[in-house]
Amino acid sequence: MIRRHGLARITAAAVAALMAAAPLPADPAQRIVSVGGSVTEIVYALGQQDRLVARDTTSNHPPEALALPDIGYVRRLSAEGVLSVNPDLILAEDGAGPPEVLELLNETQIPVATVPMGFDRAAVLAKITAVADALGVPEDGAKLAGEVAAAIDTAVAETDLGGKKVLFVLALQGGRVLAGGENTAADGILTLTGAENAVDGFAGYKLLTDEAILTAAPDVILMMDASGTRHISDKDLFAIPAIAATPAARSGAILRMDGMLLLGFSVRTGQAITELSEKLDRIGS
């Protein structure tokens, strides 16, 4: 049985066997695997979804994408899972992996188009251009990029949050807060909405000390609206004394949004800016 999740250790002979069953590559590609929720959203927005044969776990929008085979989490792919759907093109966000699997896929000579990541307006447009070029529809890409740019510009122009301080909490680990600093999707979307990231001085996601949380003194705490083991309840959040002492906790200013909408930096970024700014405006009124 072919495993679809986790890091796969497969031999060159196994790869050869899987490839022997694959059809000859089409030109243009007609059996595409999309890796990364933002990439999948762009494929659908370009009207090219009929060419998709599989997607990764983060590709949860639009809802129709969920009907496609799931070949695993974007950073924990298995070569077996990808090859099992006989793709003739792999569209992958920069940072997909693990590297060993991508190296193995490159050895199969299946084209792998890497889509650049980034957390601002320019990055969204670059993603759209890269996906459209890989799909052979650059004119459609230029049109979509123009529409998305206009939506982002309109959303940004309509925000007025007065520098409200927001702490983005990605997860709780061992009773500590994993928060988003600079050069993260969380920081990028806060910047576009005109809100202030309550933490600075570090890049990426970092576990905060109690002192750092108290110094940050966020007006609002923002999280993804996750389910299952990834869900962070208010009870779990307020069990951390430093969080309970923040202005956000004292006023009950806790927000949750769909993670892919909030952090995806794809075709819905204008919508994300508008929704987040409206929620932030209401919660402070």
Distance of alpha carbon 240 from alpha carbon 210, whole angstroms: 9
First-to-last CA distance in the chain?
56
Residue 162 has a pLDDT of 74
Q: What is the mean pLDDT of residues 78-96?
A: 94
Instruction: Tell which wins on pLDDT, 25 or 231.
Output: 231
Q: Is the pLDDT of residue 31 over 60?
A: yes
Q: Is the pLDDT of residue 40 over 70?
A: yes
Residue 4 has a pLDDT of 35
Domains belonging to the chain, first-starting first, are 12-154 (3.40.50.1980), 165-283 (3.40.50.1980)
Distance of alpha carbon 175 from alpha carbon 169, whole angstroms: 12
Q: How confident is the model at residue 14 (pLDDT cuts 50, 70, 90)?
A: very low
Distance of alpha carbon 83 from alpha carbon 79, whole angstroms: 6
Q: What is the mean pLDDT of residues 130-139?
A: 97
Residue 92 has a pLDDT of 95
Distance of alpha carbon 110 from alpha carbon 151, whole angstroms: 35
Average pLDDT, the chain: 89
Distance of alpha carbon 282 from alpha carbon 285, whole angstroms: 5
Q: What is the mean pLDDT of residues 108-122?
A: 94
Residue 193 has a pLDDT of 95
Share of the chain above pLDDT 70, in %: 89
